[in-house]
Amino acid sequence: MMSSVKDDFVKGETITIPVQGMSCNHCRKSVEDGLSRLPGVKNVQVDLPGGSVSFVLGDETDLAMVKDTINKLGFRA
């Protein structure tokens, strides 16, 4: 089951959020690696053409931390 971009998601389900500024495989790799380092974030997959990232969020991290990480990487979540 996939949650939308709302903040009232269910942890353990796949969440997809929009990310602006990704344009190449280096961008994809940066976001995937950066989010994969966060505790509890799993199955990170970037959709370059769609401008989004999907992931499963566990109890150790919240959505604000994910968005902050993306923004610190130079993209806009």
Residue ranges covered by each domain of the chain: 2-72
Q: Which CATH architecture fits 2-72?
A: 2-Layer Sandwich (3.30)
**CA torsion through residues 70, 67, 65, 25, sign:** negative
Pairing of strands 14-18, 2-3: parallel
- Mean pLDDT calculated for residue range 36-43: 95
Choose among 71, 62, 18, 68: nearest CA to 41: 62
| Farthest CA pair distance, the chain | 31
Its pTM stands at: 0.86
Phi-psi region of 43 (alpha: psi -120 to 50; beta: other; left: phi over 0): left
What is the pLDDT of the chain when averaged over all its residues?
Answer: 89
